[in-house]
Amino acid sequence: MKNKIYILHENDEWVEPLRKELQAINAPFEEWHLGKRNVDHLDKPPYGIFYNRMSASSHTRGHRYAPEHTAVVLNWLEKNKRRVINNSRALNLEISKSLQYKELESFGIKTPKTIYCSNKESILKSANVFTKPFITKHNRGGKGLGVKLFNNKKELDSYVSSGNFEPSIDGITLLQDYIDANPKVIKRVEFVNSKFLYTVEVDASEGFELCPACPEDQNDIPQQQIAGEFCPTTGNKFKIVKNYKENKLTEKYENFIAANGIEIAGIEYITDKKGEIYTYDVNTNTNYNSQAEKVSEIKGMKSIAKFLKEELLLLSNIKTVA
């Protein structure tokens, strides 16, 4: 059987750009939609390159247990010595911001002050720690799930006791310092083959002042725009940063992802008014903004497709020699 690139995912729409790029370079591939597909673990997996694109937000598309299924599949692949890109360790970080932050900090990468809460009582009690505005977010997130800004504990009390409270799918809610940025932008650093690709800057000027206490018309603004949580495939507020200079931070990011089985990722950070940089999100299922890439020679999905094909050719050469 001919070696292939196997794409493990749960969202057909997000795979479409990669699908086109792989077809353009005649790279053989097959998609495994792990929200729908059963895998025979009693058999040996096929030979090839397995690219894990499982998302922490899969449950919002009706695929509640797709990450858990993916964990089983990745274990099966790794036990059988298959080449996996974004392995089981990467999946663990994708679906847990608490694990992300602990691991980032171990590499000297600063994250916002965060408290992890397992129930409403814990959320309300932990809020006493914050003396300035803070946000909530879901431990297993993506798409800005559960991200809301609070100016004080009274606002939080009102939200948590209301019918609008949104629990995290894994039961863990994060309380986190609100980072007041100036200018109000976030940066997302993209990596392919565990190496720096480019950095995109996102205009967050319309998202940073939102909170549950705002009038209803303001609450209609998509949640992913609150407090720096963004969907990179939509909107025209994205631009690729030319002559990006945060080389020391990039080096730390590269060390972090290389040590955690992450080969393709987008890492987001924000800079406060004092110039302090806080990293707050690691996306191993990264997507790219087509508007930003129109003015760039570097294309994210094209780079991924090229990397996957190179890895497939390398694997094929090894098998031929063996």
- Confirm if 10 and 61 have CB atoms less than 8 A apart: yes
Whole-prediction pTM value?
Answer: 0.89
Cβ pair 232, 188 in contact under 8 A:
yes
Mean pLDDT by 10 residues, the chain (322 residues): 91 95 98 91 94 93 93 97 98 97 98 97 96 96 85 96 93 96 92 96 67 32 38 68 92 98 97 96 92 89 98 82 46
At 16, which helix (H) or strand (E)?
Answer: helix 12-24
Q: State the Cα–Cα distance between residues 168 and 224, nearest whole angstrom.
A: 15
Task: Look up residue 306 and give its two tokens.
Answer: 């090229």
Q: Are 123 and 136 in contact (CB under 8 A)?
A: yes
CA-to-CA distance for 304 and 294, rounded, in angstroms? 17
Task: Report the b/e string of 25-60 with b at 16+ CB within 10 A.
Answer: eebebebbebbeeebeeeeebebbbbbbbbbbbbbe
Q: What is the pLDDT of residue 252?
A: 98
Tokens of 149: 């800004």
> What is the arrangement of strands in the sheet containing 83-85, beginning at the earlier edge strand?
29-33, 4-9, 48-52, 83-85
Tell me, rounded to whole angstroms, the distance of Cα 169 from its chain centroid. Answer: 16
pLDDT of residue 320: 52
Q: Across the strands, what pairs with 283?
A: 266
Is 223:277 a contact under the CB 8 Å cutoff?
no
Question: What is the fold, at CATH topology level, of the domain defined by 4-93+301-321?
Answer: Rossmann fold (3.40.50)
Alpha-carbon distance of 38 to 60, in angstroms, equals 20
Residue position matching structure tokens 């994210």: 300
Say what the pLDDT of residue 40 is: 84
What's the confidence (pLDDT) of residue 4?
96
Radius of gyration, alpha carbons of the chain: 20
